[in-house]
Structure formats: C-alpha cells, structure tokens
Amino acid sequence: MSLAAPAIDRPRPTWLALDKLGVLVAVAAGIGIALPFALFRANRIVPGEAMGLFAALPLHLALLLVATLIGGFAAALLRWPAHLKLAVGLVVVGMLFVLAGLSASHLTPDGDSFARVSPGAGFWVLAFAFALLVTDALTRLALRPWQRVAMLLAVAAAMALLLWSGLWNDLSMLREYANRAQSFWSEAQTHLGLAFGSVAIATLVGVPLGMVCYKFAALRASVLNLLNIVQTIPSIALFGLLIAPLAWVAAHVPGAKAIGISGIGATPALVALFAYSLLPIVANTVVGLVGVSPAAIDAARGMGMTRWQRLLSVELPLAFPVILTGIRIVLVQNIGLTTIAALVGGGGFGVFVFQGIGQTAMDLVLLGAVPTVALAFAAAVVLDALVDMTARGTRT
C-alpha cells in the first residue's frame, strides 16, 4: 500500500507580494484617473471646464498613458526591487509632465491667445502618487549624498529641457510667465536674497550666541525662552508689528533711510525672517555642543588646550553636523515664509501668489507657488546631503 506524499505549500515569490505603501500609492493613482486631467477656460478668470483623460488628450496618447499607468500600478502594488520601482516611477512622472503640455496644445484652439489650459486635479493626484513611489524607492536604495545631489541635478536638467522644448508653452502657467518674464526674474532675485540673506545673518549671530549659551548655562534658559516667544508670533503679525518701529527709525535716525531701512519693503521682511531663524540655529548649536563625547573633550584637555581652544578646535567641528541641520531647517522654512513678505512690500514670489488670489487667477498663484516649493525641495536635498557628508566626516 503506497501513501501519497503530503502537498507542500510553496511560498509565494517575493516580487508577487503586496507592498503596503504601494497599496496607498495605487489607491491615490486610481482616484487620480477618475478626476479631470485638464481644465479648459475661455480666458484666465472664468470658471473652467473639466476634461477627463480621453477628452484632454488625443486617443493614442490617452491609451499610451493608460498603459504606462498600468505598469505604474504594478510597480507600486508589488514588492519589486527598489531600483525597478524607481525607474517605473520616473517614467510615469515624466510621461505625466510631457502629456500635460501636449493636452494644452490639443485643447487650445489655433490662434486663440485668450484660452487657458491648466493641469486638472487628476494630473496633480497622479503626479503626487508616483512622486511618492519615487521617494519611497530612493529611501530604500539609501543613496549616498553625492548620488542624491546627482539625482536632483538630473531632475532639474530634465525640467529645464522640458521648458526649453516648448512643450509647456500652451499651459496657462507658462502664458502667465510669458507676460511677466522680466518681473518674474526680478522677484526671484528678491526672494533668494531675502531667504538666503536672512539665514546668513542668523547663522553669523546664532552660532556665536549658541556657543555663549553653551558655555554659560545661566543664560541658556532665558535666551531660548525669549526666542521661543518670537516663534509663537504668527508670521503675518510679526511682519506687521515691525512696520511702525522701522518707520520711526527711518524717520528719526540719521542715515537709516539712506541704507534702505523703511517701514515697508524688504527691511521688515528681512528682520522678521532673521528673528524666526534664530531659535533653530541657537538651539541646534547648544544641542550639538552638549552632545560632544566627553572622551574627546578629556583628550583635548589632556593636550593642554584652554576652554575656548577646546570649543573652537574640538567641540565645534564635532557639533557641526547638528548645527548644519538647524541651518537646513531654517533655510527651508524661510524660503516658504518669504512668500508672505509681499504683504509688506518685500517682493518675492509672493507677489504673484497674492496678485493671483486677488484676480481669481489660480495659474498666477502657481507661478509664484511652484518655484517656491521647488526651491525649498532643492535646498532640503542639498543640505541633507551636506549634513550626511559632514556627519560621516566626524565619525572617521
């Protein structure tokens, strides 16, 4: 009598297992497909007509996008290797951006300079979903700092090529830019000057102040509490509160007006951004110095170094990655906060944001908001890479 061999349950291949984050990406992408891909308006301020995927694109391009999205769904849902997920995610995002421009050309009547075509909610949801897939793949790959910066440069080059090719020229945001090209670059210069200038001044003041707070513990609580109070003031309120005292200084202090101090304009914006920048820089300087290994300090003491020699030659270099993290936080924060400077005449990309809100022209809002977000993202990637490189340097 023969006995049948028991059935053996073979494990499912890893690449067929579901990815938990991928399920979220696929659900978001599914919602994006159901939403309008483009928005057509007869002019820049009238309500728009929502266009689905097959109405916004020629049939062959719509089918191509659907096929690409199916591959994107598979890459998101299944536990494919991270490098394959990254490649598929980049292809889908690139396809979305190219087809957004082609949909504008498809929907805009020939010779019509008043019609406006904007990416619809479906485009933004799909772009967000697959950008999340790309971000997750990059996190799993754990790229080195220089590789992350190289990836950022590659994306920037791809976007520059897309803009240079003219594929986006019929999109309403690019039409808004064409009407304001000169002022756009002028406001971009102002935005960069306020954001980076305030961080530079705050670093020059905040790092030495943090060193003093570290050495003199009696000052630490009072200084940090005062800077905490500044942080609790809403940004719009702080911009407004500075108008009156700076106007008084400009009117009564000789030479103040000649160097640019005034109640409205760039001065109150710069002072407010500087005030908001101090707490993260001072606090991270203190935390970084407190976290220096006692063994390193004892070794420096054994070599005969004085208190300030140990601080400058040993403790500060070892604390630098933490200090740089504070500067990163401040720079990303100030790039966003500089947008509000337009409310007090400070200029920057906020000029387009508030003009667009006042005119009910959302594409003008995007002309100010998109560069701000892109600039903040790029600054975060670059400074994150610098933090990692300096942290590895202090461990070697």
| Residue 182, Cβ density class (10 Å: 0-12 exposed, 13-18 middle, ≥19 buried) | exposed
pLDDT tens for each residue of 148-174: 999 999 999 999 999 999 899 889 899
What does the alpha-carbon distance between residue 396 and residue 387 come to, in Å, rounded to a whole number? 15
pLDDT of 12: 54
Q: How confident is the model at residue 14 (pLDDT cuts 50, 70, 90)?
A: low
What is the set of domains in the chain, with CATH numbers?
A: 14-142 (no CATH), 181-395 (1.10.3720.10)
Quick one: how far is CA 265 from the chain centroid?
A: 25
Distances (CA, A) of 258 to 246, 254, 342: 13, 8, 22
Evaluate if residue 79 carries a pLDDT over 50.
yes
pLDDT tens for each residue of 174-196: 988 988 899 999 999 999 999 99
Distances (CA, A) of 231 to 28, 47, 63, 269, 272: 35, 39, 51, 15, 10
Q: What is the average per-residue pLDDT within 111-123?
A: 86
- Is residue 33 a contact partner of residue 69, using CB atoms and an 8 Å limit? yes
Q: How confident is the model at residue 259 (pLDDT cuts 50, 70, 90)?
A: low
Instruction: Give the type of residue at 169.
Output: N
- Is residue 48 a contact partner of residue 39, using CB atoms and an 8 Å limit? yes
**Residue 102: its H or E element:** helix 82-107
pTM: 0.86
Evaluate if residue 392 carries a pLDDT over 80.
no
pLDDT tens for each residue of 330-350: 999 999 999 988 888 888 999
Q: How confident is the model at residue 10 (pLDDT cuts 50, 70, 90)?
A: low
Q: How confident is the model at residue 1 (pLDDT cuts 50, 70, 90)?
A: very low
Evaluate if residue 246 carries a pLDDT over 90.
no
What does the alpha-carbon distance between residue 25 and residue 374 come to, in Å, rounded to a whole number? 22
Evaluate if residue 49 carries a pLDDT over 90.
no
